[in-house]
Amino acid sequence: MVATAATSAFFPITFSPDSSDSKNKRLGNGSTNLGGFSKPSASSGSLQVKANAQAPPKINGTTVVMTPVEGLKDEDGVSSPPPRTFINQLPDWSMLLAAITTIFLAAEKQWMMLDWKPRRSDMLIDPFGIGRIVQDGLVFRQNFSIRSYEIGVDRTASIETLMNHLQETAINHCKTAGLLGDGFGATPGMCKKNLIWVVTRMQVVVDRYPTWGDVVQVDTWVSASGKNGMRRDWLVSNSETGEILTRATSVWVMMNKLTRRLSKIPEEVRGEIEPHFMDCDPIVAEDSRKLVKLDDSTAEYVRKGLTPRWSDLDVNQHVNNVKYIGWILESTPLQIVENHELCSMTLEYRRECGRDSVLQSLTAVSDAGEGEIECQHLLRLEEGSEIVRGRTQWRPKNVERYGKMGRIPAQSA
């Protein structure tokens, strides 16, 4: 049948007038002619359409009269069916063709998924953001794409975005290394004793801010810091060019989650974390200058009435340390923020604040030379208790910085 149909597409089927006349006689004068389709007959093996008798349809309660389709008329006014062609003899193949097309498209999609690989050099090496352990199992590496909602008016990533990347890689490092217990970044031994990590000092140097669409590579590792502390360093670079963007170092200590008091590192916990320590110097040279304590007489700018929102709390029920940075910058003069960019920051965390706390942000400004500005900061409770002391350095915008190199350190011999 398929072969016959295919042949008919190139060689139209001819028929004699006699056969047409005999069919017209069989149809009768009062029969309905549907565009050349006739009633089924016992002698005909081809597929034909039968006009079924149905009740007249109604639309909005009004009976609609269907007008019969008329065929061609000759000179005597006698209706005759149009010539039989290959097209009007074919059955309705649309459903079968649609099913075949759907099957082929699904198969093609599955094949492309199995054969997937990056087609462009700027695509993520780690497209799902899982991260991996590198350099003898001591360094954790993860890529981040700068999203449109993570940039500011300058079309560059905000300092809060960069700090969130640092915090995310720290947690994922513990998880990938198998050190993550039930707590937020806490090892199984820490969970048994209700211990958590808290940051006491952080130092960040930003050589250049990534822009929208950039993919940054964040490397992080840990080292010992005294007897009861841990140092964590980060190195942020452009994943495509290798350019160093940000360097950061921090010191962490343990705190009891129930008493909110600092704790020594238990031997069980020390045995969990020490195999992952690198023996190396900090990625950023320590700024040993003392952070100034501001008060109402020395602060030039004060912002009052700052309160944490529910979304500012982490799973340990204290305000996320990245939020403190935003509060510190609340009292920075707008003229500095508009014409300069933050290039370095040193923070000392003195105590935590709860969700019912009301805070004040204090800032004092001084000239650092070469067009740069230095600011002293204090974040405190309304009753006077210190939360964070800080110092920030600001450089004029659109100033290129060359020759600042950084790399993952090798362990000391």
H-run or E-run covering 10: helix 2-10
d(CA 96, CA 401): 65
| DSSP β-ladder status, 72-73 and 79-80 | antiparallel
171-192: pLDDT as tens digits: 999 888 888 777 667 899 999 9
- Residue 252 DSSP SS3: strand
Residue 142 DSSP symbol: E
Catalytically annotated residues: 316, 318, 353
Q: Which pLDDT score, from 0 to 100, does residue 220 have?
A: 97
- Rounded to an integer, the average pLDDT of 317-326 is 86
Q: Which pLDDT score, from 0 to 100, does residue 410 have?
A: 57
With bands split at pLDDT 50, 70 and 90, how would you rate the model's confidence at 78? low
> What does the angle CA 281 – CA 291 – CA 311 come to, to the nearest 5 degrees?
85
The residue count of the chain comes to 413
With bands split at pLDDT 50, 70 and 90, how would you rate the model's confidence at 83? low
- Rounded to an integer, the average pLDDT of 276-297 is 93
In the structure encoding, which two tokens stand for residue 150, read together? 């993570």
Nearest to 338 by CA among 396, 400, 401, 399: 396
- pLDDT over 90, % of the chain: 50
For the packed helices 321-329 and 159-176, what is the interaxial angle rounded to 10 degrees?
170
Nearest to 172 by CA among 218, 239, 136: 218
With bands split at pLDDT 50, 70 and 90, how would you rate the model's confidence at 81? low
d(CA 397, CA 117): 39
Q: Which pLDDT score, from 0 to 100, does residue 105 have?
A: 81
190-233: pLDDT as tens digits: 999 999 899 999 999 999 999 999 999 999 999 999 889 999 99
The answer to whether residue 308 scores a pLDDT higher than 80 is yes
In the structure encoding, which two tokens stand for residue 38, read together? 């006739």
The answer to whether residue 160 scores a pLDDT higher than 90 is yes
The answer to whether residue 345 scores a pLDDT higher than 50 is yes
26: buried, middle or exposed (CB in 10 Å: 19+, 13-18, 0-12)? exposed
Query: Phi, psi (5° rounding) for residue 96?
Result: -65, -40
Q: Which pLDDT score, from 0 to 100, does residue 121 have?
A: 38
The answer to whether residue 324 scores a pLDDT higher than 60 is yes
Query: Phi, psi (5° rounding) for residue 367?
Result: -85, 130
CB 223 within 8 A of CB 230: yes
110: buried, middle or exposed (CB in 10 Å: 19+, 13-18, 0-12)? exposed
147-156: pLDDT as tens digits: 999 999 889 9
Q: Which pLDDT score, from 0 to 100, does residue 342 have?
A: 97
